[in-house]
Structure 1
Amino acid sequence: MQDIELQQIWKLYDEKLQEQLIFNRKNAAEITKLKVKSELASLRPIKIFTVMAGILWVFFLDLLLINIFPGGSMFLLISIGFIALVNNIAVGIYIYQLVLISVINISSPVVKTQKYLASLVNSTLWVTKILMLQLPFWTTFFLSSSWLGTGNPIFWVIQGVITLSFAGLAIWLFINIRYENRDKRWFKFLFGNYEWTPIMKAKEMLVQIEEYEQE
């Protein structure tokens, strides 16, 4: 009789323990979801500021390009034109990121949220890659076509070295700005902590939530 009672008590205790574990996992998952929401919310102010500053910047560049188009030099038109194009694309991507952040719902399935975060990661990488392409054009906008035949050869050698160096750097960054390099020191320096770190923290926490739900 005592054995049966002990077994019943143990079974009851085991059930209570399982219920408590399930309750704790659910609580942990909900708390982690709130942390994910907080990390993503921290991105919104910097994104909004970047979009507003970017719109003013591209408006200035577009206006400048329109004004100098009739009589501007070939170097100036090409340089400002490319810089304006790159920055217009960047502003569009930042607006897209703001939309992504707004539509992410932590109550949605983890897989769906992970897809949104993957899009956020990819767009963050691509906007930086694209912006890097403008580097060499900042070394050519002041040049004049009339200098081609009359300029000092030493000047053109120095100018060529500088422009090619910036072009090489831009191409190298465009190729190497990849998710696989996220732990490299130059990558961390380039991206800083304001835009990249919250996304990575959110990704890690989503993995934790997925583990809680699978247990």
Structure 2
Amino acid sequence: MEDIELQQLWKSYDERLQEQLVFNRKNASDITKMKVKSTLSAMRPIKIFTLLLGILWVLFLDVLLINLFPVGNFFFLISFGFISLVNKIAVGIYAYQLILISVVNINSPVISTQKKIAGLVSSTLWVTRILMLQLPFWITGFMSLAWVINGNILYWSIQGALTALFAGLAVWLFINIRYENREKRWFKFLFGSYEWTPIMKAQEMLGQIKEYEEAN
């Protein structure tokens, strides 16, 4: 009789322990979800600031191009026209990222939120890669036809070296700015901590939530 009572008592204790574990996991999952939302929301101000700054910069470039079009030289118009185009694309990507951050719902399935985070990661990489393409055009934009025609060896040496350097750097960055290189020092220096780190934290926390849900 005592053995039966002892078994029942042990079974009851085990059931309560399991219930407590499930409850703790659920609480941990809910808290982590709120942290994910808070981490992403904290990115909104810098995204809004960058977006507004980008819009003002694009407007300035377009006004400059329009006003100088009648007198502007070929190199200036082509170079700064490309710079303006690249920044317009960047503005569009930042607007897309703000929408992604706004539609994140902590009560949605983890896989749905993971897709949105993946969209933030991918778009952050792409906007940086695209912006790097403008580097050599900051050098060619200040060339003039007179300099091209009358330039001496010294001019062409400096101009050619700078253009080749910035073009090579732009191509290298465009190729190497990838998720696989995220732990490299130059990558961390380039991205800083305001935009990239919160995304990585949110991604890591989503993995924890998935583990909690699978354990339940």
1:166-211 deviations in Å (ceiling 9; x for gaps): 0000000000000000000000000000000000000000000000
Whole-angstrom CA distance in 2 between matches of 1:103 and 1:37: 10
Q: CA deviation at 1:68?
A: 1.3
1:175 aligns with 175
Number of residue equivalences: 215
Alignment of 1:145-156 (within 5 A): 145-156=145-156
User: Is 1:7 the counterpart of 2:19 in the alignment?
Assistant: no
Whole-angstrom CA distance in 2 between matches of 1:209 and 1:51: 31
Whole-angstrom CA distance in 1 between matches of 2:213 and 2:162: 55
Moved more, 68-77 or 187-196: 68-77
Paired letter, 1:39? T
Whole-angstrom CA distance in 1 between matches of 2:115 and 2:148: 52
Moved more, 70-79 or 177-186: 70-79
Q: CA deviation at 1:71?
A: 1.9
Q: CA deviation at 1:92?
A: 0.5
Percent same amino acid at aligned positions?
72
1:63-116 deviations in Å (ceiling 9; x for gaps): 111111122111100111010000010001000000000011111000000000
User: Is 1:162 the counterpart of 2:162 in the alignment?
Assistant: yes
1:201 aligns with 201
Consecutive unaligned residues in structure 1, runs of 5 or more: none
1:137 aligns with 137
Consecutive unaligned residues in structure 2, runs of 5 or more: none
Q: CA deviation at 1:157?
A: 1.1
2:106 is paired with a residue whose SS is coil
1:121 is paired with a residue whose SS is helix
1:146 is paired with a residue whose SS is helix
Q: CA deviation at 1:140?
A: 1.5
Whole-angstrom CA distance in 2 between matches of 1:116 and 1:148: 49
Paired letter, 2:186? W
Paired letter, 1:128? T
1:45 aligns with 45
Paired letter, 2:166? F
2:57 aligns with 57
| TM-score (norm: length of structure 1) | 0.99
| TM-score (norm: length of structure 2) | 0.98
Whole-angstrom CA distance in 1 between matches of 2:131 and 2:148: 28
Paired letter, 1:186? W
Q: How large is the RMSD of aligned CA atoms in angstroms?
A: 0.6
1:211 is paired with a residue whose SS is helix
- Structure 1 residue ranges (4+ consecutive) displaced by more than 2 angstroms after TM superposition: none
